[in-house]
A = this chain, B = another copy of it.
């Protein structure tokens, strides 16, 4: 049995996007496939009484500047150039995250994730506006009708809610969150620890 690695993500979190960009290299180095689990970050915040950094950093001198410095360091360390702050932040991602559930069911999940992330954080758009969403998905040559119909499906809505509740039950309080087996890691800065834990668990199983 191989090591299970999960990435609990919401398109609204820039730090989840930056993690998404470096996950392929982590997969290549470790030989594991990371499982993407769509969750609704707003639901996590509501269930845990947590708030986004955009809120918690407000009015605190130096702390936001330091987060910006850490982001710049991460971009440089990983040679990331395709990142642009979304001018419409915070974007309500309910439709996009339900769309991720639809994409899982219909078998185009990986491409959907790549494309929606691009529309959020590389060529950022107001991705909580239905017209903007339709235009973006069309540009990406994704099955727009299937998606826009599917996100109204009660089962799809329920699945996203179940993912989110399960995530919180397992200890999640923000984004990005990773599980290596049952070990939780929070934040893009923990990706090195994630990788070391994967290697450790791989060693323990051989």
State the A residues within 8 Å of B (CB).
Answer: 47-50, 56, 59-63, 65-66, 69, 73, 168, 171-174, 184, 186, 189-190, 192-193
Contacts and interface: CB of A to CB of B under 8 A. Distances in A.
Contacts of A62: 48, 50, 168, 171-173
A60 B189 CA distance: 21
A184 B63 CA distance: 11
Nearest to A171: B62
- Identify the 6 closest CB pairs spanning chains A and B, nearest first: A62-B173, A48-B61, A63-B173, A50-B60, A62-B171, A49-B60
Given A61-B168, A62-B171, A62-B173, 20 more contacts: A48-B60, A48-B61, A48-B62, A49-B59, A49-B60, A49-B61, A50-B60, A50-B62, A61-B173, A62-B172, A63-B173, A63-B174, A65-B171, A66-B173, A66-B184, A66-B186, A73-B193, A189-B189, A189-B190, A192-B192
A175 B65 CA distance: 16
Contacts of A173: 60-63, 66
B66 A50 contact: no
Contacts of A63: 48, 50, 173-174
A192 B77 CA distance: 14
Nearest to A177: B66
Nearest to A73: B193
Contacts of A73: 193
A74 B185 CA distance: 13
A148 B50 CA distance: 43
Nearest to A67: B186
24 contacts: A48-B60, A48-B61, A48-B62, A48-B63, A49-B60, A49-B61, A50-B60, A50-B61, A50-B62, A50-B63, A56-B56, A61-B168, A61-B173, A62-B168, A62-B172, A62-B173, A63-B173, A63-B174, A65-B171, A66-B173, A66-B184, A66-B186, A73-B193, A189-B190
